[in-house]
Amino acid sequence: MPAAKKLPNAVHWAWRGDKSDWIFYDADTAAVFEAAYDSGKKKVKVDSERYIDLSLNHKEVLENFNKGSLDCEDEVIAVQRRNDDPNKRRAIRRVVPTTFENEKFLLLGSFTASRKKNISETIELYGGLTSSNWSKAITKVLIPDADLQKPEYLDALQKAYEADVVILDLSWLEDKLVKVATFKDKALKKNQLNNNRAELQFLSKKRPADDDTDEDEPPRKKKKDDKKEEEKTKEEEKKKEEEKKKKEEEKKKEEEKKKEEEKKKEEEKKKKEEEKKKEEEKKKEEKKDENQKYEGKCLTIPILDSGDITDAPSLLADTEWTGNCTMESDGSTYPLVLKITERKGNTFQGEMLWPTLDSARTKLKGEIQGNKFVFEEYEAITGADQVQIPMKYKATLENGNTLVGQSEPEEQDDASTFEVKKNPAKPSRDFEHIKPGNTFECTFYVPHKFEIEITSKKLLQFEGLARFPDGSTKKLRGNIDGTGIEWDQEGTVYQGVTSGGKRAGGKEVGSSTLFDLNLRPSQ
C-alpha cells in the first residue's frame, strides 16, 4: 500500500493589507525571507521599493502599531518599510504550518459515516491518527458543538478533561481554532484563539484524489442509506437516553435513602452528645458542691486544670503536622499541612492546607479515641474548585508524632492515603516565646484537703489536730510570730507567711508542696 499523501511543511509569510487583511507572499519569496530570518540577518529585500526590517524584537515591532489594532500578534515578527520613507510601514506575519504528527484524535458526534471518513482523511493528510474510542493515547477530542450536551458523549468528555486533553469544536478544522478551556459540571467554556484561515483553507474542501462519492452508486441511493443510518442513530440515542434516565432515577432514590439514614444517625449522635453534656454539667455541679463544703475551713492548694486531655497529648492546639497525601488510583502525590487550632477534651478542630492545589485551605473537625483519629474536611476556606468537600478520614497515631491514615470517599476512585508528622517546637520559659507552636514543661499540683483544729495555745505556741476527709488525724505543734506561722505535723514541718492576719501561704520544708491556710475559724 502506498504511503499516505501529506501536505508540504513550508513556513508562510504575509503582509498587512489596507483592509486589515493578511496578504500572503508566494512560496519562493517566502522561502527567501525564511532563509534570511534563520540566518539572523537584520534586513531582507522585498523589491526595488521595499525591504523587511528584521532587527527589532517582538515588543519593538508591536510598538510601531496602535495597541490592539493587530490580530495574530504572536505571529507578527517584523516590519516592512519603504526605501524612500522608512516611516511608512506595514506589519509582517510569519505563519508556521499546522501539523498533526504525534497527535491522535478522538472523533465524537452524530455525523454520517462519509463525513467521519472525510474528517479522518483530513487529519491523516497532516500526519495525525483518529479513533472512535477513548484511550490514553488520545491527545485531542473533536466533537460538533451541537453534540456537547448529549449524554452518550459526557463520559468520554469527562475522561478527556481529567486527562488534560484539549476538547475542540469541529469548526477548528473548517474555519478558526476554538479551544475548549474547561469541562466541568457538563458545561464547556470556549476561548477564541488566533484565526489562521490561510493555513486551514484546504480543510473546507475534499481531497482531490479521494472523493467521498462513489461514482458507481447513484446519489439518490446514497442519501437514502444516509437517512436510514441517521434514523437508526436517533433510535439508539433515544434508547440510551431512556436507560440513563432510569439509572438516574434509581440513583436518586438510593441517595435519598442514604440521606435519610445519615439524618437518623446524626439525630442519634446529637442526642448522645446532649446526654453527655448534661452528665458533664452534673459532674461539675457535684464537684462545685464538694468544694463549697470545705470553703473557709481547710487548707487549699491551687492546681492547673488538665482540660480532660487523656488521649493523644501530642495533638494539642496550635500544633502543625506536615506530610503527603497519595491517590490510590494513579499514585499521584500532593503535599499536605494539617494545623490543629483548637482542642477540647478528645475533640479538636483545625485546617488543612494543600500547597500544590492553588494553596486551597479547608476546615476540619474530629474526635480522638485512644490513638485512633476520625475527622472530616467539612468546609472550603479557599480553592473550593480544587478539593472535594466533604471528605472523611481516619488515622492512627504512631510514635506520638506521626499520623498515618486514609480517606473514606463515596467513590473508590477518590480514595487516598496520607502520612503527616508533627513539626517540632523549641521549649522555652521566656515570656517572649509564649506564642503558637511552642511547648513548655509543666507540673500539676493536686489538692489535698484537710482541717486544722487548735486544741491549746500558750502565748505564741499552739497545739492541734489535722483532720483528713478519710477520717484520719495527725497531731501538730507550732508557733506564730508577727509575720509568719510554722508547725510540725508529726515530723513534717511547714513554714508560711501571713497576709493581713486572715490567710497564710507557704510550703513544706524540704519539699515543693505548697499550702494556702484560711485563718478564719470554722463555724
Q: Show the DSSP H helices in 390-509 as ranges.
A: none
What is the reported pLDDT for 323? 93
What does the block give as the cell for 81?
518599510
- Full pLDDT tens readout for the chain, 523 residues: 233 344 445 688 999 998 888 898 988 898 999 999 989 999 999 999 999 999 999 899 999 998 888 888 888 999 999 999 999 999 999 987 767 778 898 998 887 888 888 888 877 877 789 998 999 899 988 888 888 888 888 888 889 889 988 888 777 665 433 333 223 222 233 332 233 333 333 333 333 333 333 333 333 444 456 677 788 888 888 899 999 999 999 999 999 999 999 999 999 999 999 999 998 888 888 766 655 554 443 333 333 333 344 456 667 778 899 999 999 888 899 999 999 999 888 899 999 999 998 889 999 999 988 778 899 999 999 988 988 899 999 999 888 889 999 999 988 888 999 999 998 765 544 456 677 887 877 766 556 677 888 888 887 788 888 887 888 888 888 877 655 677 677 667 666 655 444 455 565 666 656 666 665 565 4
Residues 6+ apart with CB under 8 A from 301: 445, 446, 447, 448, 513, 514, 515, 516
Residue 100 has what pLDDT? 76
How high is the pLDDT of residue 444?
61
In terms of Cβ atoms closer than 10 Å to its own Cβ (0-12, 13-18, 19+), residue 360 is buried
Q: Could you tell me the three cell numbers for 318?
A: 496550635
Calculate the CA dihedral of residues 328, 331, 334, 339 and round it to 10 degrees. 40
Give the three cell numbers for residue 312.
493523644
Question: DSSP assignment, residue 432?
Answer: G
Q: Which three cell numbers stand for residue 5?
A: 499523501
Give the angle subtended at the CA of 435 by the CAs of 432 and 436, to the nearest 5°. Answer: 165
What pLDDT, on a 0 to 100 scale, did the predictor assign at position 308? 40
Phi, psi of 13 (to 5 degrees): -125, 140
Residue 317 phi/psi, 5-degree rounding, is -60, 150
For the full predicted model, state whether its pTM sits above 0.75: no
**Domains in the chain, ordered, with CATH?**
12-95 (no CATH), 104-204 (3.40.50.10190), 319-433 (2.40.128.120), 451-518 (no CATH)
* Amino acid (one-letter) located at 310: T
Q: What are phi and psi of 328, to 5 degrees?
A: -75, -25
The continuous run of DSSP H or E covering 197 comes out as helix 197-200
In this prediction, residue 466 carries a pLDDT of: 82
